[in-house]
Structure 1
Amino acid sequence: MKINCLIQNLKDAVQIAERNTSKNQTLPILNSVLIDADGGKIKIKATNLETAVEINIPGKVEDGGNVAILAKTLSLFLSSLKDDRVILESKKNNLFIKTKTAQTTIRGFISEDFPLFPKIDAVEIFSLPANELRSAISSVAIAVSTSDIKPELSSVLFKVFKNTVKLVATDSFRLAEKTIVSKNISAEKLVSFLIPQKSVQEILKIIENDDIKFGFNKNQIILYNNNIKFISRLTEGIFPDYEQILPKEFKISAIADKADVISNLKTAGIFTGKLNDLNMSFNSDKKSISFQTSNQDIGEHFSEIKTTIAGGDTMIKFNWRYILDGVSQINQEYVVFDLNNSESPLLIHGKGDGSYVYLVMPMRGV
C-alpha cells in the first residue's frame, strides 16, 4: 500500500476512528485502526466489536493494500506534524510515513487479524436532516440512565411509524420524548429499536451537515453521513411502556417565561442540599411560581416569578437539576408546567409546541 493525502484529513479521520477502538488485552488488534486503500479509495476503519466506523478521505492511491496501526500512537504522531501532506506506505506489517521534514516507521499488526467489518442487510431505511437529529438526540439524552444495570434504560428508544420518528429516554426519575415529522420517513408499520448511550454520544460527535441516512435490522443500526459510515449493535431488552405513565389530563397549568425560570432555578440551586431538593409552589391567587431551597451549611433562598396559571394551588418537591435540564431544552420563549397535585409528576413543554415533552417525578419522603 502507498497513498498520498492531506495530513489534516487523515488526522481528523483517525481521531474519529480512535474513539471506536477498544483497550482489549485479549485482542490487541482492537486497539488499532485499519488504513485500507482499495479501488482508488482511502478508508480508515476501526471497531470495538460493539461499534464500527469507516471514514473515506480524499487522496491519491499509488498502490492498493492495507495496514493496521495502533490508533493512539498514530493519532499522537499526526497531531505533532506541521506539514500539509503525507505519504503512507506499508512495509510488511509496519507503516512508513514520509513528509517534507520527517520520516517515521510505526510498527503495526498483522492486518489479516483485523476483524471483518460488519455487513448489514438493512430491513428499514429512512433519513433525517442532521440538525434535526442532533437537536432531537441532545434533548432526550439528558434523561438516559447512567447505570448499566438495566441496559434498556441506558439507551435511547427510536419509534418509527409512517412519517414520524419519536426519540425517548428515561432513567425512571424523568422522561424525555421528542417527535420529528419528516417527508423522508415512510414506515408502513411501527418499528422500534434501542441505541446504547455510548453509541448515541458517538453519533452526536460524528454528525455533520446534510441528511443522515439510517438503516437497521434486528441487531444493528447503520448510519451514513457524507464520508462516514457508523455501525452499532442495538440494545436487547424491552423499553418501559412509558405512554401509560404520561398523564392525559391536568388540574393545574402554569405558563412562565423560560429565561426567568432558568435564572431562578440556577440561583435556587446554590442553596440546595446533597439531594438537590427544591420546593416549587404554584399559587393561582398570586399567579406565581415560587422556588425555595435551604442548606444548613450555606443558608436559605426564596424567589418568585409571575405566571399565567389555571387551577388550584400546590407545593411539590423536585430535584432542581432535573427541572433545569428539561426547561433548558425548550425552544420556545414560554414554558408550560402541567401537574395535578403534590404527588403527581410534572410535565414540561413549550407553549404551543407538543413536539417535545419532559416528565419529572416528584421527590417523596425527603
Structure 2
Amino acid sequence: MKVTLNRTAFTQQLQTVQRAISTKTTMPILTGVKIDLANNGLTLTGSNADISIESFLSSDDEKAKMNIESTGSIVLQARFFNEIIRRLPEDHVTFEVLDNNQVEITSGKANFLVNGLDSESYPHLPAVDRQREIQLPADMLNKLINETVFSVSQHESRPILTGVHFTLQNNRLLAVATDSHRLSQRTIPLENDTEEFDIVIPGKSLVELSRSLTDEEDTVKISIMENQVLFETETMKFYSRLLEGKYPDTDRLIPSSFNTEIEFDVSGLLSAIERASLLSHESRNNIVRLQITENSVVLHGNSPEVGKVEEDLKYEKVSGDPLEISFNPDYMKDALRAFGNTTIRICFISAVRPFTLEPTEGQGDFLQLITPVRTN
C-alpha cells in the first residue's frame, strides 16, 4: 500500500473517525484507526463498544490530490498517528506499508517509521439491513438531535433513559427524551411509506453523530437493524448500538388542559433566566420562582449567602389563574435554547404539576415539559 495525498483533507477524515476511538477498550486493536486504500479512494474506520464510524475520501476529490501507487490496508495507533499527521511540515503526506506491518510516513524532510497491526484482525462492521430505512435532510436530523438529546438522563441507574426514543408510526417520526424531571419531544412528518419501528439510541451516540455531520451533507440515510442503527451520508457511515429494554410511556406525562397560559419572546425570557440563575447557582437549591398575576409576571432568584434578584418580565399575553411556581433554571435554559428565536407559549396546571413549553406557531410538533420544584 502506498499513497500520497493532501494532509488537510486527510486530517478532516481522521478527526471524524477519531470520535469513535477510545483508549479504554478491552480490544487493543480498537485503539487504532483502520486504513483501507482501494482504487476509488481511502476509507478510515474507528470503533468502540458503542459506535463505529467509517469515513471515505474519494480519489476523485480535487481537495485530496490523491496519488495511489498500490492498494492495501493497515491499522495504526490512533492517538500517535493523529499527532504525527497534525505536526507534519508540508501540505502533502505519503504513507507506505513496508514489511512486518511497518508504515513509513513522509512529509517534506520529516520521516516516521511506525508499527502497524494487521487489518484482518479488525472487527467487521455490522451487515446493513435496508428493509427499515428512512431519509432525512442532514440539517433536520441535526436540529432534531439538538432539540431533544439534552433531556436524556446522565445516570446509568435507568439505562433506557440515557437514550432518545425514536418511533415511526403513520409516517410520523417521533423523538422523545426524558430524565424523569424534564422531557423533550419532536415530531417530523415523513413523505414516503416506511416500515414502522420503535428504537432507543444512546444520547452519547447522537451527540457524536451531530458533531460528525458537516454543512456539506444534504441527506442522511437511516437504516435500522436488530441491535444497531446506521446513519449514512455520501462520505460517512455512522453505526450506533441500540439500547435494550422498553422505553416508558411518555404520552401520559403530557397534560391536555391547563389553568394558566403565558406567551414570551424566547430571547428576552432566556436572558432573564440567565440573570436570575447567577444567584440561584450559589444556593444549594438552585431554583428560581415565577410569579404570575393578571397584570404582572415577576421572576425571583435567591441565594441566602449572596443575595436576591427580582425582575419584571416582558410578556406577549397572559390568561388564566394567578400562579407562583418554582423550577430549576438550568432545565428552563436548555429548553429555551432549543427553540431558537421565536415566541413560545408556556402552559401551567398548578405549582406542583409539570408545565409545557411550545412554539406559538406549529404547536404539537415540538414540546418541552419541565417538572417544578416543590418549595415550602
Q: Shared fold by TM > 0.5?
A: yes
**What does residue 368 of structure 2 align with?**
358
Q: Aligned partners of 1:274 and 1:186: how far apart in 2? A: 51
Q: Is the 8 A contact 1:93 1:111 kept in 2?
A: no
Deviation at 1:38, TM superposition (A): 2.6
Deviation at 1:57, TM superposition (A): 1.0
Q: Which runs of 4+ in 1 moved over 6 A?
A: none
- TM-score relative to the length of structure 2: 0.92
Q: Is the 8 A contact 1:126 1:186 kept in 2?
A: no
Q: Aligned partners of 1:289 and 1:154: how far apart in 2? A: 35
Structure 2 vs 1, CA of residues 361 and 72 (structure 1 numbering), >3 Å: closer, same or farther? same
Q: Does 1:221 align with 2:229?
A: yes
User: Partner letter of residue 72 of structure 1?
Assistant: R
Q: Please, what is the CA RMSD of the aligned residues?
A: 1.6
**What does residue 99 of structure 1 align with?**
107
Q: Does 1:168 align with 2:176?
A: yes
**Equivalent residues in 2 for 1:115-130 (5 A)?**
115-130=123-138
Q: What SS does structure 2 have at the residue aligned with 1:152?
A: helix
Structure 2 vs 1, CA of residues 45 and 268 (structure 1 numbering), >3 Å: closer, same or farther? same
Q: Is the 8 A contact 2:262 2:319 kept in 1?
A: yes
Q: What SS does structure 2 have at the residue aligned with 1:172?
A: coil
Deviation at 1:226, TM superposition (A): 2.1
Deviation at 1:94, TM superposition (A): 1.5
**What does residue 275 of structure 1 align with?**
285
Deviation string for 1:98-121 (max 9, x for gaps)?
A: 223222111112322211222222
Q: Aligned partners of 1:205 and 1:329: how far apart in 2? A: 16
Q: Aligned partners of 2:255 and 2:337: how far apart in 1? A: 22
Deviation at 1:140, TM superposition (A): 0.7
**What does residue 6 of structure 1 align with?**
6
Show structure 1 runs of 5+ residues with no match: none
Q: Is the 8 A contact 2:231 2:238 kept in 1?
A: yes
**What does residue 328 of structure 2 align with?**
319
Deviation at 1:332, TM superposition (A): 5.0
Deviation at 1:309, TM superposition (A): 1.0
Deviation at 1:197, TM superposition (A): 1.6
Q: Is the 8 A contact 2:266 2:340 kept in 1?
A: no
Give identity over the alignment, percent. Answer: 25
**Equivalent residues in 2 for 1:122-271 (5 A)?**
122-183=130-191, 185-188=192-195, 190-208=196-214, 209-271=217-279
Deviation string for 1:129-148 (max 9, x for gaps)?
A: 11111111001111111112
Deviation at 1:97, TM superposition (A): 1.1
Q: Does 1:64 align with 2:74?
A: no
Deviates more, 1:198-207 or 1:46-55: 46-55
| Total equivalences in the alignment | 362
Q: Aligned partners of 2:26 and 2:155: how far apart in 1? A: 26
**What does residue 61 of structure 2 align with?**
none
Q: Aligned partners of 1:301 and 1:56: how far apart in 2? A: 54
- TM-score relative to the length of structure 1: 0.94
Q: Aligned partners of 1:61 and 1:117: how far apart in 2? A: 25
Deviation at 1:213, TM superposition (A): 0.7
Deviation string for 1:327-363 (max 9, x for gaps)?
A: 2222453221101111111101111222211000011
Q: Does 1:82 align with 2:95?
A: no
Structure 2 vs 1, CA of residues 258 and 125 (structure 1 numbering), >3 Å: closer, same or farther? same
User: Partner letter of residue 181 of structure 1?
Assistant: P
Deviation at 1:63, TM superposition (A): 1.3
Deviation string for 1:76-127 (max 9, x for gaps)?
A: 0111023122111111311111223222111112322211222222331111
Q: Aligned partners of 1:351 and 1:19: how far apart in 2? A: 38
User: Partner letter of residue 359 of structure 2?
Assistant: G
Show structure 2 runs of 5+ residues with no match: 59-65
**What does residue 342 of structure 1 align with?**
351
**What does residue 41 of structure 1 align with?**
41
